[in-house]
Amino acid sequence: AQSVSQHNHHVILSEAASLELGCNYSYGGTVNLFWYVQYPGQHLQLLLKYFSGDPLVKGIKGFEAEFIKSKFSFNLRKPSVQWSDTAEYFCAVRPHGNNRLAFGKGNQVVVIP
Amino acid sequence: NAGVMQNPRHLVRRRGQEARLRCSPMKGHSHVYWYRQLPEEGLKFMVYLQKENIIDESGMPKERFSAEFPKEGPSILRIQQVVRGDSAAYFCASSDRTDYGYTFGSGTRLTVV
């Protein structure tokens, strides 16, 4: 079945540590890829997106993601996290020509000061 | 430019009552999407609407759930005869075309008691 997989649902790390969240999808063909962040009690905000071109995408708040087509992956990274990065992070995939986003189950990230 | 507006933020209903959730898209956006978020789950697509048209309702439960996006006014997600399993956060998103990531509202948290 087509799906979006995010592993390690709960991640706890200290400030200044590096963060990498994995996202794998099983859709064939062309896809658009997104990472959203949801701060406690708030709505989802777009961190970054990939449509085409350079597979290394820079987003807001120092986040970046790399699209590796051969691995069907779109991993999110941040070199040095801050306490304010405590949030839930969702990967989403939109198969080309489809109007809906398919979301992974999310990664709950807690940054300890 | 106001974002996607959802109301109410919190809604409590007794079993058997009706829940009505409202979503006003961003100015200039004509595409509206409804998603449901359950604890420890990602967002699940429910329905995609344009003005006066339901484009894709493949994620909607067959019974008790309906959605509309009239020519004038907000999009409405209606849940009739609510049950405890309907308790969730319901998010609305809008876009101006289907090529870009959505803008999400703050959600309505429905609690059925």
Segment B64-76, tens digit of pLDDT: 999 999 999 999 9
B31 close to A (CB below 8 A): yes
Q: Do B98 and A4 touch (CB under 8 A)?
A: no
CA distance B83 to chain A (A): 24
Give the largest Cα separation in chain B, rounded.
39
For A18-65, the pLDDT digits (tens) are 999 999 999 888 899 999 999 988 888 999 999 999 999 999 999 999
Q: Which residues contact B32 (CB under 8 A, 6 or more apart)?
A: B23, B25, B48, B49, B50, B69, B75, B92, B93, B94
**Which uninterrupted H or E stretch holds B71?**
none
pLDDT at A21: 97
Q: Residue A89: what residue type? A: Y
Chain centre to alpha carbon of residue A56 = 13
B50 touches chain A (CB under 8 A): no
For residue B15, name the pLDDT band (cuts at 50, 70, 90): very high
Residue B42 has a pLDDT of: 80
Chain A contact present for B106, CB below 8 A: yes
Q: What's the rounded mean pLDDT across residues A73-90?
A: 96
Comparing CA positions, the residue from B44, B31, B66, B112 lying closest to residue A4 is: B44
The answer to whether B113 contacts chain A (CB < 8 Å) is no
* Mean pLDDT calculated for residue range B18-33: 94
Q: Using the beta-carbon criterion (under 8 Å), do B101 and A105 form an inter-chain contact?
A: no
